[in-house]
Amino acid sequence: MTLLVCPLSQVETARALHRPSHLVSLLSPTGEAAWPASDLGDAHLRLAFHDIPEPREGYTAPDAALVARLLDFAAGWDAARPMLVHCWAGVSRSTAAAFIVACQRGPERAERDIAQALRAAAPYATPNPLMVALADAALDRAGRMSAAVAEIGRGADTFEGALFDLPLR
């Protein structure tokens, strides 16, 4: 099983190189014009929300329904070909989604181990804490997902991430 993560600017390159069967786009509601073109139909999940760590007036925060859509989508992935997850910069929303999917796909794996694998693959990864907290509750991980992300802390400063893969096993 291969889970790929990248910024929007590298989606087409990642698709050409790895031919993913599923694509997750996580962009701001005002960035919807930037959605990558896709011929994947229902295998392309588009989620529009702001990259904020807590609800704020005037912004669209991730919520339980959004996380449920991500989890349902990921549950339908047969993993025969890679899933590609991207956000604008490939640093926060996409790394949170990758962490969430990895936790969903590896219920026996320790959250700390998954977070450490994420940090090793992407030193700049700074998963959105609200997304992680919502998934933590949805997956009945009893706060361990949030604790694992807090433990790895903020990633290295970067303007934009790079294409990387997160091992799921």
List the CATH number of the domain containing 130.
3.90.190.10
The mean pLDDT of the chain is 95
| Residue at 144 is within a domain | yes
Segments forming the whole domain that contains residue 119: 2-159
| Residue at 90 is within a domain | yes
| Residue at 117 is within a domain | yes
81 phi/psi in degrees, rounded to 5: -125, 165
Helices (H), 107-159: 111-121, 129-138, 144-152
| Residue at 166 is within a domain | no
Distance CA 115, CA 108 (A): 14
| Residue at 167 is within a domain | no
Distance CA 33, CA 119 (A): 31
| Residue at 6 is within a domain | yes
Three-class SS state of 54: coil
| Residue at 164 is within a domain | no
For position 137, what pLDDT does the model report? 98
Three-class SS state of 103: helix
| Residue at 69 is within a domain | yes
Whether residue 77 is predicted with pLDDT greater than 70 in this model: the reply is yes
Domains held by the chain: number: 1
Angle at 108 between CA 102 and CA 112, to 5 degrees: 60
- Each residue of 8-47: pLDDT tens digit? 999 999 999 999 999 999 999 986 667 877 888 899 999 9
For position 32, what pLDDT does the model report? 63
* Cβ atoms 148, 142 nearer than 8 A: no
User: What is the separation of C-alpha 122 from the centre of its chain, rounded to a whole number of angstroms?
Assistant: 13
Distance CA 50, CA 56 (A): 10
